[in-house]
Amino acid sequence: MEEHMEAERRLRPEDVVELNPNYHFRWEEPQQAHVLLYPEGIVKLNQTAAAILEACTGAPSIADGTAELSRRYDKRNLGAEVLKFLEVAHAKGWIRVKS
């Protein structure tokens, strides 16, 4: 029940997220892309998705990861876009909120 409740709540900038241990994030040379490998298959990520996952799953919070992306790409106001993507990644089970 608690697991289901967590999936229902929206992510917040102060949340700390990590990759689901069932997924492995890496660069695939033959695909020339970052991918998520999991027991049932592979998800090929576009550059934006890979950058968000990389920045936000290694950061102290989603807000810190977003700030890093803003600096890296010299763009402001990425918060809503980053959260929107992470919501999808969370719903698909690629990431989870660290407790």
Q: Is 93 helix (H, G, I), strand (E, B) or coil?
A: coil
CATH class held by domain 2-97:
alpha beta
Reported confidence tier of residue 1, pLDDT bands at 50, 70, 90: very low
Compute how many other C-beta atoms are within 10 angstroms of the C-beta atom of residue 66. 23
If phi > 0 it is left, if psi is from -120 to 50 it is alpha, else beta; for residue 64 that is: alpha
Give percent of the chain with pLDDT exceeding 90.
88
DSSP label at 20? -
Q: Indicate whether this model's pTM tops 0.85.
A: yes
Residue 5 scores a pLDDT above 50: no
Phi–psi pair at 55, nearest 5 degrees: -70, -40
For residue 44, give both structure tokens: 């090929």
DSSP label at 1? -
For residue 20, give both structure tokens: 């689901």
Beta-carbon-side half-sphere exposure of residue 60 (alpha carbons within 13 Å): 2
* pLDDT, tens digit (0-9, with 9 covering 90-100), for 8-54: 679 999 999 999 999 999 999 999 999 999 999 999 999 999 999 99
